[in-house]
Structure 1
Amino acid sequence: MRTEQKPLLSGFGFHTTAQEALAGRDLHGKVAMITGGHGGIGLETTRVLSEAGATVIVGARHVQQALQNVSLFKNVEVLQLDLSDPASIDAFASEFLKSDRQLDILIHNAGVTAPPESKDFRGYDSQLATNYLSHFQLTVRVWEALKKSGSARVVSLSSIGHMDGQIDLSDLNFNTRPYHWGISYGQSKTACSLLAIELDKRGKEHGIRAFAVHPGGILTGLTRHISDEDLALWGVHRDASGSFIQPEGFKTIEEGAATTVWCAANPILEGKGGVYCEDCDIAEIVPDDYSMRKGVRNWAIDPELAESLWKTSEELLNIPHGAIPQASN
């Protein structure tokens, strides 16, 4: 039965930390994989999962820097992963699969925000390719390891930015429509949400449940490509030294990692999936023209659109249809 897109009244909220969201769960014997798990909210996610006993596989573009960042954590392995390079994604997945381990938690955490307008060597919009298509490809490659778990969870980091970018299947790569980094980013994050919707439908008969997450507004390295003028529209300003002033309505790193950890491991979500979450709860559906930066718009959880995007993604990545089969019922 499909999980209703309706708050559970989980008892957690905006200021819940990742450590609190775990609710004391023991993760010994579990294997987790997280892209970009060596910086920002990804690093905090790695810390909390590893301290709970999980073995954490971190995919990182710069391995030595990542090893330094996680050097104080136990049970953490770092493998080279460049999400902008399809061959690197395949190599990363293959290296993990050589260990013949099950994969209990897969977290699509890494991404880019507002880079200069660019396309990859395939002609794909860089934000769509890095934030979404790379994670779609990785999911397909580690599918058998997820099945082996029997009770895996996949967490796809979306964003409230989805409200700024509906999916345009006829022009995903801005070949005909005018480019705007915010629309591009929003489209990529809508796609990340739709990935969770369709993956949950295909995976639940194998015990694989998927969740989309809005982590909240957090000042991390992802802001490096955004101009001060655009940041000011979100209430973000700098002090005299040039450092960001934490604005009202933004979260700390510990709070920003909380919904990811909640979806990845909190017991309240056993048997649930295919929903968009925020503030450690299932988000409320809001009208498409709702102006507040909260809740989920219908286009980000539309099951028909999710299925269409899935099929389009298979074509864009030259993945055979049915590599992850549709549900049998």
Structure 2
Amino acid sequence: SRWLVRDVMPTVDFEDLNWETREYHAGAAYGQSKLANYLHALAASQKYSSDKLISASVHPGWVYSPLDVHALGNMFGTGFIGRNVGWLVKQLLYWKGDIISPVDGAQTTLHCLLADDIQSGRFYSQMGVYKDEASKPGGWPMDLPNPTATPEAAEKLWEA
């Protein structure tokens, strides 16, 4: 997810993975889940040889789908006006190129499934279909700028 790449630097709270003892924040929980996804791929790559298992973390991009209905509802409300404002904003972002089509969003996942040069434990992020490529970092594979995305954190999550 781009949360992992650009917007925030999430962390994993190893003492409260399921948000049972701290106040729940949807954005922080989402960021933690995306970082945990990467850490799990990294840990699996350390546990299993790449001739047995290739584990990669994949960010397809912001894909046009109904999956963001809750985020849009939180931003604009769930009433008639809020739903329609959210829909309009989503259409504008799609037209502008910040949201990509499902076909374009599938490309990184398909690349990881079909390419012969996938590196286990790496992060693969959509990069080539955005209209404004300079503002959308990505790579096949790419390094994460998050200083908490370490092999030590991956091992700790694996053991949790």
TM-score, reference length from structure 1: 0.37
**Quick check: 1:184 aligned with 2:32?**
no
Structure of higher CA gyration radius: 1
Q: Give structure 1 stretches of 5+ with no counterpart.
A: 1-158, 287-296, 313-329
Could you say what secondary structure the match of 1:198 adopts?
A: helix
Counterpart-to-counterpart distance in 2, 1:219 and 1:201: 34
Q: Give structure 2 stretches of 5+ with no counterpart.
A: 77-84, 127-138
Letter in structure 2 aligned against 1:178: E
Match of 1:215 in 2: 60
Counterpart-to-counterpart distance in 2, 1:226 and 1:310: 29
Letter in structure 2 aligned against 1:273: S
TM-score, reference length from structure 2: 0.72
Match of 2:153 in 1: 305
- How many pairs were matched up? 135
Deviant stretches of 4+, over 4 Å: none
Counterpart-to-counterpart distance in 1, 2:38 and 2:9: 14
Note if contact 1:276-1:282 (Cα within 8 Å) is conserved in structure 2: yes
Identity of aligned residues (%): 28
After TM superposition, give the deviation of residue 220 of structure 1 in Å: 0.9
Letter in structure 2 aligned against 1:198: A
Which of 245, 252, 257 matches 2:106? Answer: 257
Match of 1:160 in 2: 2
Note if contact 1:164-1:183 (Cα within 8 Å) is conserved in structure 2: no
Match of 1:72 in 2: none
Letter in structure 2 aligned against 1:185: Y
Which of 124, 129, 133 matches 1:277? Answer: 124
Residue 176 and residue 307 in structure 1: after superposition, are their counterparts in 2 closer, same or farther (change >3 A)? Answer: same
Instruction: List aligned pairs for 1:130-141, cutoff 5 A.
Output: none
Match of 2:49 in 1: 204
Higher helix share: 2
String of CA shifts for 1:72-126, please: whole Å, max 9, x gaps: xxxxxxxxxxxxxxxxxxxxxxxxxxxxxxxxxxxxxxxxxxxxxxxxxxxxxxx
After TM superposition, give the deviation of residue 206 of structure 1 in Å: 4.6
Counterpart-to-counterpart distance in 1, 2:73 and 2:105: 22
Residue 225 and residue 310 in structure 1: after superposition, are their counterparts in 2 closer, same or farther (change >3 A)? Answer: same
Residue 229 and residue 161 in structure 1: after superposition, are their counterparts in 2 closer, same or farther (change >3 A)? Answer: same
